[in-house]
Homo-oligomer: A and B are copies of this chain.
Amino acid sequence: MKARVHVMLKNGVLDPQGAAVRHALGTLGFEGVNDVRQGKVIELDLADGTSEATITEMCDKLLANTVIESYTIEIA
C-alpha cells in the first residue's frame, strides 16, 4: 500500500524557503504571487494492512517536528 504524508510549517512559523521562492518568482517576472509556503512530501510504500495509527506514529516520531510542523496523511 502507498501512503503520502505532507509536512508543512504551521501557520505563523516563518518559512524562509517559501519567502526565497516568492522573491525569485518576482525576479523572474511572475506577477501576482502573494505567498509561497514550501513543505515536504513523503511517499511511503508500506506493507499491506499498515494502519493509519502506525503512520501517525511515524509522523510524530520521525517525519514531522510537531512543534513547528503539521502533517496530513493520505492513504492511496
* B-binding residues in A (CB < 8 A): 6, 8, 18, 21, 24-25, 28, 30-47, 50, 54, 57-58, 61-63
Contacts and interface: CB of A to CB of B under 8 A. Distances in A.
B37 A39 contact: no
A6 B69 CA distance: 18
Copies of this chain assembled into the complex: 2
Contact of A8 (B39, B41, B58, B63): B41
A19 to B, nearest CB: 12
B38 A42 contact: yes
Contact of A50 (B8, B32, B37): B32
14 contacts: A8-B41, A18-B42, A25-B58, A28-B62, A30-B58, A33-B47, A36-B43, A36-B44, A37-B43, A38-B41, A39-B40, A39-B41, A40-B40, A41-B41
